[in-house]
């Protein structure tokens, strides 16, 4: 008998940009299986611009969302509340649901976990166990809450296993599945290579730095953002800088009157956010990446491209111990030193990491079909 004969659907949640490259390989893996389970994709609408959302659906071949909650932006309380309210309304009238799958650490992840668990549904968290130990990061709170109540914790980084064990999580709730975000890199690398985004900008391979910045710690305070604009201008004296600008950062640059200063430098290529294939192409051939992103630390480690992370901590320590990532903290002098080393050819080569192999989505599907059938 086929599994799920008596069960109608599994709900997959995605809401913000970094969720899309994680949900794509899971859905692709599920669609390759012979199962009667129906998958329902819920987009919360936390990110809604074409460049922050739709383009990723197009480029990653994700089906159009079955349900769109259209919550939009807001304060944490307002946004989380809207997601919970609308997701609960959806689940209350939905066909019988076998479980809910959430990914990552954004507000949508935590909000939908709370709703699913309170409605008595099993919830699986993909990318569980990561901890930065910095409670000033909204994502850290989302991770702790999500992992404390989700049923199945699917881990991508060996540190996640240690963290969950230390928190006393029962081993039967935990599985090491590897990194679904790397599945998307593996699937799209050839296309990214063929695109040659750097050449299209008149840049040579390994002849530029790619920069992304969007964390509140870096962009929400005028003094800090001003220092970062100065830092990037200095960097551009040494090497061309490609800087696709996140909407949060763009808003702050405008609000603080810093945009002209940033764009004045002829070697800073500022642009709106880029699509997945474009950013992957730029990452692959960069000499150096400077970022405060979570996922980029992993992607650069997989691609063996040096990454300098402008944050006080990382929840992805394997990218530092085995990968190409350097945590520069918040002191820009430390970052200058790290950048200087890379430009002088001194950086860690990095190595392969277990389960970062392009097959994590398959392992996620193995676990959820086994658990919920
Ligand atoms: C969110 C995630 C963060 C993730 C990041 C990736 C949380 C707590 N944070 O942060 O973990 O790394 O996404 O992008 O969930 N905006 C637009 N268009 C959009 C989306 C946002 O213009 O499509 C603007 C809005 O002005 C909004 C601001 O960007 O207020 C910030 O968006 P928000 O979703 O609140 O947080 P992010 O900073 O994007």
Instruction: Please tell me if the CB atom of residue 248 comes closer than 6 angstroms to any atom of ligand 1.
Output: yes
pLDDT digits (tens, 9 = 90+) for 218-230: 999 999 999 999 9
Sheet arrangement for strand 9-14: 67-68, 38-43, 9-14, 97-103, 123-128, 152-155, 174-176
Domains, the chain, ranges and CATH?
9-179+356-372 (3.40.50.2000), 187-343 (3.40.50.2000)
| pLDDT tens readout for residues 272-299 | 999 999 999 999 999 999 999 999 999 9
Q: Is 289 helix (H, G, I), strand (E, B) or coil?
A: strand
Which residue's CA is the closest to the ligand 1 atom numbered 14? 17
User: Is residue 217 within 8 Å of residue 227, measured between CB atoms?
Assistant: no
Average pLDDT over residues 343-369: 97
pLDDT tens track for 308-325: 999 999 999 999 999 999
Q: How far apart are CA 113 and CA 101, in angstroms?
A: 8
Phi, psi of 293 (to 5 degrees): -80, 155
User: For residue 18, which atom of ligand 1 is closest to its CA?
Assistant: 6
Token pair 């860690």 in the structure block, residue: 348
pLDDT at 259 over 80: yes
Report the C-alpha gap between 373 and 367 in whole angstroms: 10
- Find out whether 151 and 140 touch, Cβ atoms under 8 Å: no
Share above pLDDT 90 across residues of the chain, in percent, rounded to a whole number: 97
Whether 120 and 91 have beta carbons less than 8 Å apart is answered as no
Q: How many angstroms is it from 248 CA to the middle of ligand 1?
A: 6
Residue 4 has pLDDT above 70, yes or no: no
Q: 131 near 143, Cβ under 8 Å?
A: yes
pLDDT score for 5? 45
pLDDT at 66: 98
How much is the pLDDT for 2? 41
**With contact defined as beta carbons under 8 Å apart, do 71 and 44 qualify?**
yes
Q: Tell me if 130 CB under 6 Å of ligand 1.
A: no
DSSP state of 211: E
For the chain, what percent of residues have pLDDT higher than 70? 98
User: Is the pLDDT assigned to residue 251 strictly greater than 70?
Assistant: yes
pLDDT at site 7: 56
Instruction: Please write the tens of the pLDDT for every residue from 90-121.
Output: 999 999 999 999 999 999 999 999 999 999 99
Q: Indicate the pLDDT class of residue 3, thresholds 50, 70 and 90.
A: very low
Instruction: Indicate whether residue 152 lines ligand 1 (CB < 6 A).
Output: no
Answer whether 22 contacts ligand 1 (Cβ < 6 A).
Answer: no
> Cβ neighbours of residue 136 under 8 Å, at least 6 residues apart?
217
Residue nearest to atom 15 of ligand 1 (CA): 106
Angstrom distance (rounded) from CA 195 to CA 77: 40
Q: How confident is the model at residue 8 (pLDDT cuts 50, 70, 90)?
A: confident
Q: Which helix (H) or strand (E) holds 367?
A: helix 360-372
Q: What is the DSSP string of 216-276?
A: HHHHSSHHHHHHHHHHHHHHHHHS-EEEE--HHHHHHHHHTT-HHHHHHSTTEEEES---H
Instruction: With both helix axes pointing from N to C terminus, report the angle between 76-93 and 107-118 in degrees, rounded to the nearest 10.
Output: 40
Q: How far apart are CA 245 and CA 263, in angstroms?
A: 12
- Residue from 153, 145, 93, 95 nearest 123 by CA: 153
- Could you tell me the distance, in angstroms and rounded to a whole number, from the CA of residue 274 to the centre of ligand 1? 15
Instruction: State the residue for tokens 């009667």.
Output: 36
Which of 20, 46, 109 maximizes ligand 1 atoms within 8 Å of its Cβ, making it the mutation to test the pocket?
A: 46
112 C-alpha to center of ligand 1: Å? Answer: 17
The overall pTM is greater than 0.95 = yes
Report the residue count for the chain: 373
CA-nearest residue for atom 21, ligand 1, is 47
Residue given tokens 């949508």 in the structure block: 108
Distance CA 3, CA 178 (A): 25
pLDDT at 6: 56
Instruction: Judge whether 10 and 37 are in contact, CB under 8 Å.
Output: yes
Q: Across the chain, what does the average pLDDT equal?
A: 96
Phi-psi region of 133 (alpha: psi -120 to 50; beta: other; left: phi over 0): left
Cite the active site residues.
214
Q: Which atom of ligand 1 is nearest to the CA of 248?
A: 29
At residue 358 the predicted structure's pLDDT band, cuts being 50, 70 and 90, is: very high
The answer, yes or no, to whether residue 71 has pLDDT greater than 60, is: yes
């Amino acid at each position: 008998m086929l599994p799920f004969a008596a069960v109608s659907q599994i709900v997959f949640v995605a809401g913000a940009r970094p969720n899309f490259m994680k949900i794509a390989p899971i859905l692709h893996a599920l669609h390759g299986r012979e199962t009667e389970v129906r998958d329902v994709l819920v987009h919360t609408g936390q990110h809604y611009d074409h460049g922050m959302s739709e383009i990723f659906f197009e480029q990653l071949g994700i089906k159009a969302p079955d349900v769109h909650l259209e919550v939009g932006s807001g304060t944490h309380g307002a946004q989380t509340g809207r997601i919970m309210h609308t997701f609960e309304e959806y689940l209350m009238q939905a066909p019988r649901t076998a479980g809910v799958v959430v990914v990552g650490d954004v507000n949508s992840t935590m909000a939908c976990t709370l709703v699913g668990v309170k409605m008595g549904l099993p919830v699986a968290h993909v990318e569980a166990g990561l901890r930065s130990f910095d409670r000033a990061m909204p994502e850290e709170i989302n991770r702790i809450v999500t992992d404390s109540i989700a049923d199945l914790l699917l881990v991508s980084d060996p540190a996640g296993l240690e963290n969950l064990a230390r928190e006393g999580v029962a081993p039967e709730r935990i599985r090491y599945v590897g990194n679904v975000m790397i599945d998307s890199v593996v699937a799209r690398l050839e296309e990214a290579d063929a695109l040659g985004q750097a050449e299209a900008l008149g840049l040579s391979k390994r002849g530029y730095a790619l920069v992304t910045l969007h964390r509140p710690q870096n962009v929400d305070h005028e003094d800090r953002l001003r220092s970062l604009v100065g830092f990037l201008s200095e960097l551009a004296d040494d090497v061309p800088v490609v800087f696709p600008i996140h909407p949060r950062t763009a808003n702050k640059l405008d609000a603080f009157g810093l945009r002209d200063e940033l764009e004045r430098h002829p070697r800073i290529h500022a642009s709106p956010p880029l699509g997945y294939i474009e950013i992957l192409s730029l990452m692959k051939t960069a000499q150096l990446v400077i970022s405060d992103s979570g996922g980029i630390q992993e992607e650069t480690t997989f691609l063996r491209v040096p990454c300098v992370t402008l944050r006080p901590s990382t929840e992805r320590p394997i990218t530092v111990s085995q990968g190409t990532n350097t945590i520069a903290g918040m002191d820009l002098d430390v970052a200058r030193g790290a950048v200087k080393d890379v430009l002088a050819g001194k950086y860690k080569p990095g190595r392969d990491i277990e389960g970062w192999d392009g097959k994590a989505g398959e392992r996620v599907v193995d676990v959820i079909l086994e658990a919920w059938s």
